[in-house]
Structure 1
Amino acid sequence: MKQLVFILVFSLLHLSFETAPTATRQADVIIYGGTCAAVTAAVQVKKMGKSVIVVSPDKHLGGLSAGGLGFTDTGNKSVIGGLSREFYQRLYQHYQKPESWTWQKQSEYGNKGQGTPAMDGNNRTMWIFEPHAAEQVFEDFIKENNITVYRDEWLDRSKKGVSMKNGEIQSFKTLSGNTYQGKMFIDVTYEGDLMAAAGVSYHVGREANSVYGEQWNGVQAGVFQHGHYFKKPVSPYKVPGDPKSGLLPEISSEPIAPNGTGDNKIQAYCFRLCMSNDPNNRVPFPKPEGYDPARYELLLRVFDTGWRETFEKYDPIPNHKTDTNNHGPFSTDYIGKNYDYPDASYERRREIIKDHEKYQKGLLYFMQNDPRMPADVKQDMQQWGLAKDEFKDNGNWPHQIYVREARRMLGEDVMTEQHTLGTKPVSNPIGMGSYSLDAHNAQRYVKDDGYVQNEGDIGVHPKQPYSISYGSILPKAAECKNLLVPVAMSSSHIAFGSIRMEPVFMILGQSAAAAAVLSIEKKVIPQKLDYAELKKELLKAGQKLELN
């Protein structure tokens, strides 16, 4: 009897250590990523009658659109069409329901965030919304179109992860051991992971102005186009005015390069926080592990200059909540701490994300609790906390860090500053952008006069909306013939500052899917697809391609 029990126990232990069975999954189009573009791309594939699988490393769909960025950066709303516009129409419909107003009366909120009637009828749009409402719209898209999604599936980024043959992706594997085979692939990640693993060329950092003949790329010291700089002199040293005392935390000792110089620096990341000032729906800002108030000394010195713009980007969204963004010289942007993120391993990326979280949580805790804080700011901060009914499975903290920029493909076309500002024509348009060329600070340094300053914050407004070229989402044909990249697309750093808005990613995701399906049907690679055929399909889908 004892021997039988031993055999049974040994067998159960053996089974518990066996790996879960793996699968090979097939579809006409395989979409890798869980951003907003993943959803619009998948819906478009289904609408055109082909099979599709979304392979998402994220458990929650929608990326930043469902991850705290509820105060949408839109530019000219009239050029937002297709499924992107439908997303905002559905949000308007959501907020017409009385049950959607849990913590605030609809009449109190009024018409904030509402757009004019849609161009295709009387449907109105809502551009300002809560994270959970946006995520539900994405999930509705998935459910209504019967789209297969595999979540928490991470691309194997090793050399064996992507199977290539004759310049085409045959399949890719995930870390769980599953294999995904398709005719066409679409990389909708912010990082461009599938693109990179497939051997497609890309760039990280800021190009020198000389590369594309631009004005606003590269280092831009002394250029202040938002309020995210030190308006009055502030000493960067532990003992003010004494370089021998050493630098305060969060300041780089690296000398700044001449303006227009290229580098490996990328604009700062942060979390777009959903806060609440409703006592019944807020939780206190948590004190992070390893909290060190000394790292926020620079903020106190900013306040000592009389600066009082703390709450200018606590943008109100429904139900007494905010989409809180970076604002000022020392804020939620964790400047200079993301340079290695784009090419980093998953483990290193998790470390970077955790470091950002600790910084931002520590900043909030400091502002709410430190006795040295100005009394007026501290009193106002104590009215705020994290929204208790958002991100409930993640301690009310956003599940998506704001990857403002990572890898950018070097594709068939490269969108540049000249395209966005209208001084150079765009061929074969597949969508439009209109937001300012918007880049956040990339470094905090010590000037020659011994004071601290930020660098990299740009905001140049196009005179009118501009088209985005089909070639900018296509790898060079010599590198990959069945991949489209609508998010980590082919653009200079500064042009990407305008293109990188969530409504545009949804537009480009849908257009990429239409091109993928047409390429399958016409039996051509996307680089050889007849643009006239693509344009016809995009207009049919409600996309806006160029100014009339």
Structure 2
Amino acid sequence: MKQKVYYLLLLSLLCIGFSCAPEHSSSDENTADIIIYGGTSAAIIAAVEASQNGNSVIVVSPDTHLGGLTSGGLGFTDTGDKSVIGGLAREFYHRLYQHYTTDSAWIWENRSDFGNKGQGTPAIDGANRTMWIFEPHAAEQVYEDLVKEYNIRVDRDEWLDRNAEVEKENGRIISISTLNGKTYRGKIFMDATYEGDLMAAAGVSYTVGRESTAQYDEEWNGVQTGVLHHQHWFHSDISPYVIPGDPTSGVLPLISTEHPGEKGSGDDKIQAYCFRTCLTNHPDNRVPFPKPEGYDSTQYELLHRMFQTGRKDFFQKFDMIPNRKTDTNNHGPFSSDHIGMNYDYPEASYERRREIIKDHEQYQKGLYWFVANDPRVPEDIQSRMKNWGLAKDEFVDNDNWPHQIYVREARRMVGEFVMTENELLKRQPTPKPVGMGSYTMDSHNVQRYIKPDGFVQNEGDIGVSTKGPYSISYESLVPKREDCENLIVPVCVSASHIAFGSIRMEPVFMILGQSGAAAAAIAIENEIAVQDVDYDQLRKDLDEKGQILSID
């Protein structure tokens, strides 16, 4: 009897230590075929594709809210030619269409009153059963529905530990670690962030800023002084000095005193960021513009001087989305773009990035407060601005302010193939296409400087048509073989500054996320490097899934 009791006791101790441990160890629980870092639109669509392919997948998301800019205020979709948006990206817009066919979706206006205007396309495309213009919360719900339907594991608020080395072996990532102390292991990794943090931590080649025109034989790259596209430049001569015309009085805020650089030269500067704010003019859903802490009206003196010249286009990009709301974007020479205040964001620490984001928030909130309240603003503009405010039912856990800043450009990989304006303009063929883009090559302003004649001007705003859709190469999604053999990068793709200006649209990120995950499935099945994926097989898979790869 004593022996039996002793045996059972020993067995229980062993069970506690070994046998009765969880079925998977903590490291096994954080192991999957594909580890996707990021919570963007590309990340979620890639995860859906992985799940459909039968791959296990974990989305390691630094974000709490899913969808990046698509759910972060950019509801007036930059479609370009929507006929080349296929696959799961089109499924996303179809689901939004289904949402807006319900009466319950129309709370603050009747559907019949909405109109049907989008960016060169109907907002509600009944023939193709897609919806291209939408509210932030509606987009976020679609991503949440996808995650739930496909039982995708999403670990939120998990930030890559950028100070810890990414574990690599024989040119392959073995594991990544987060600030919460978790370690994730996978066969294929994907960096689906706007910043490219995993890519950089893994030792993959990348660049920040603008290449010279000579580097890739381009026309629209590099410094573009004197090139004035769109309407985001000063039409009239405006003095940059505190006392107009007096350089000894000092320079107004938000104007650089540095030389902008020679035309066509490269630099390390990036196009401006802003928040795509969701505003409303419905009195029952409107929150008055808050006066930000530390508000300083002198920050907006240049806007005051612009108004004095007679400019009346301040409301040009209050683009309407359903329920009397807007996707409000930058427009004009002094607007929501915080020009020149983001240069160190791509490489900055998390703490520094938070400071930059807060500075952008304070600037943009102050801008709205200034226009709505400062007595120097023309009465017709101010009275109209007072009809607007933040939408009470959007971003409800962030004081109705977007949770995602518009990172238009940060790091860009230098991979197996670099997309340039030459491919976008069809001067050169694109190898191994896995998706298409079509939007204008579009860069917002990069700097605000003082011209030799003593007046202020902006530089860097470019808008050049691609003259129809263009293909995007699979080789622009994968690093150089010597850098890493099991990483795919569908957002910070290998592209020149000006080519990325077109590729960087949210529908394209979704397209590339799906194509990247499809390639990952082939690499896993055949136990090969991502650079060795058989393109014919990949193309066949993507064709069957409705991805549009080229226009013959």
* Fold similarity call, TM over 0.5: yes
3-state SS in 2 of match to 1:210 = coil
Which string of whole-angstrom CA distances, capped at 9 and with x for unpartnered residues, describes residues 337-382 of structure 1?
0000000000000000000000000111011111111111100000
Equivalent residue for 1:341? 345
- Report the alpha carbon displacement of residue 464 of structure 1 after superposing the two structures with TM: 1.2
Unaligned runs of 5+ in 1: 1-20
Question: Match of 1:349, as an amino acid?
Answer: R
Aligned match of 2:191: 187
AA in 2 matched with 1:319? N
* Aligned partners of 2:330 and 2:337 also within 8 Å: yes
Given that residues 100 and 106 in structure 2 are in contact (C-alpha distance below 8 angstroms), is that contact kept between their aligned partners in structure 1?
yes
Q: Which residue of 1 aligns with 2:365?
A: 361
Aligned with residue 318 of structure 2, among 306, 314, 320? 314
For 1:34, the equivalent position in structure 2 comes to 39
User: In structure 1, what is the Cα distance between the partners aligned to 2:487 and 2:545?
Assistant: 21
* Structure 1 residues 400-479: aligned runs within 5 Å: 400-479=404-483
Alpha-carbon separation, structure 2, partners of 1:69 and 1:322: 9
Give the Å deviation of 1:123: 4.5
Structure 1 counterpart of 2:207: 203
Shift of 1:497: 0.2
CA shift for structure 1 position 479: 0.6
- The reply to whether residue 245 of structure 1 matches residue 235 of structure 2 is no
TM-superposed CA distance for 1:117, in Å, is 6.0
Corresponding residue for residue 505 of structure 1: 509
- The 8 Å contact of residues 22 and 177 in structure 1, kept in 2 or not, is answered as no
Contact 2:190 2:489 in 1 (8 A): yes
**Matching of residues 88-99 of structure 1 within 5 Å:** 88-99=93-104
Shift of 1:541: 1.2
What letter matches 1:66 in structure 2? S
- Indicate yes or no: 2:529 matched with 1:525: yes
| Structure 1 CA distance for aligned equivalents of residues 482 and 50 of structure 2 | 25
Equivalent of 1:73 in 50, 53, 78? 78
- Offset of 1:158 from its aligned partner? 1.3
Whether contact under 8 Å (1:417, 1:495) holds in the other structure is yes
Cα distance in 2 for residues equivalent to 1:252 and 1:498: 27
Equivalent position of 2:18 in the other structure = none
Secondary structure (helix, strand or coil) at the match of 1:518 reads helix
Provide the rounded CA distance (Å) in 2 between the counterparts of 1:492 and 1:70.
26
**How big is the shift at 1:523?**
1.5
> Which secondary structure does the structure 2 equivalent of 1:212 belong to?
coil
Letter paired with 2:160:
L
In the alignment, which residue of structure 2 is the partner of 1:176? 180
Secondary structure, in 3 states, of the residue corresponding to 2:222? Answer: coil
Count of equivalent residues: 524
Following the alignment from structure 1 to structure 2, what is the Cα–Cα distance between the partners of residues 218 and 345? 26
Quote the residue 2:8 is aligned against. Answer: none
Match of 2:88 among 83, 99, 117: 83
Q: Which residue in 2 is equivalent to 1:534?
A: 538
Deviation at 1:199, TM superposition (A): 0.3
Q: Distance in 2 between matches of 1:107 and 1:436?
A: 31
User: What letter is aligned with 1:410?
Assistant: V
Match of 1:124 in 2: 129
Tell me the C-alpha RMSD between the 2 structures: 1.2
- Inter-partner Cα distance in structure 1 for 2:198 and 2:521: 19
Q: Distance in 2 between matches of 1:379 and 1:112?
A: 26
- What CA distance in whole angstroms lies between the structure 2 residues aligned with 1:86 and 1:303? 44
Please report how far the alpha carbon of residue 256 of structure 1 lies from its aligned counterpart in structure 2 after TM superposition: 1.7
Task: Name the counterpart of 2:48.
Answer: 43
Q: 2:102 is matched by which residue type in structure 1?
A: K
1:60 has 2:40 as partner? no
Superposition deviation, residue 258 in structure 1: 1.0
Contact 2:164 2:177 in 1 (8 A): no
How many angstroms apart in 2 are the aligned matches of 1:258 and 1:123?
Answer: 47
Deviation of 1:43 (Å)? 0.3
The residue number in structure 2 matching 1:15 is none
For the pair 1:104 / 2:109, whether they are aligned, the reply is yes
Looking at structure 1, the residues matched to 72 and 123 of structure 2 have their Cα atoms a distance apart, in angstroms, of 22
- Alpha-carbon distance between aligned partners in 2 of 1:168 and 1:95, rounded to the nearest angstrom: 45
The residue type equivalent to 1:481 in the other structure is: E
Is the contact between residue 125 and residue 131 of structure 2 (CA under 8 Å) also seen in structure 1? Answer: no
Q: Partners of 1:30 and 1:285 in 2: how far apart? A: 40
Structure 1 Cα separation of the partners of residues 412 and 545 of structure 2? 27
> Any conservation in 2 of the 1:443–1:456 contact (CA below 8 Å)?
yes
Measured after TM superposition, the shift of residue 104 of structure 1 is: 0.4
Name which of 145, 149, 154 aligns with 2:150. Answer: 145
1:163–1:172: 8 Å Cα contact kept in structure 2? Answer: yes
Task: Indicate if the aligned counterparts of 1:167 and 1:479 stay in contact, CA closer than 8 A.
Answer: yes
User: 1:159, CA displacement in angstroms?
Assistant: 3.8
Residue type of the alignment partner of 2:139:
A
CA distance in 2, matches of 1:385, 1:168: 50
Deviation at 1:511, TM superposition (A): 0.3
CA distance in 2, matches of 1:325, 1:117: 23
CA distance in 1, matches of 2:449, 2:116: 42
Q: Is the 8 A contact 1:91 1:133 kept in 2?
A: yes
1:274 equivalenced with 2:278 (yes/no)? yes
* Distance of 1:43 and 1:495 partners within structure 2: 27
Structure 1 partner of 2:17: none
Q: Partners in 2 of 1:371 and 1:353 — Cα distance? A: 28
Q: What is the identity, as a one-letter code, of the residue corresponding to 2:114?
A: Y
Q: Distance in 2 between matches of 1:469 and 1:300?
A: 46
Alpha carbons 2:124, 2:133 under 8 Å: kept: no
CA contact (8 A) 1:22 1:176 kept: no
Q: Distance in 2 between matches of 1:327 and 1:245?
A: 29
Per the normalisation by structure 1, the TM-score is 0.94
Number of the residue aligned with 1:9? none
Superposed counterparts of 1:214-229, under 5 Å: 214-229=218-233
Q: Aligned letter for 1:530?
A: D
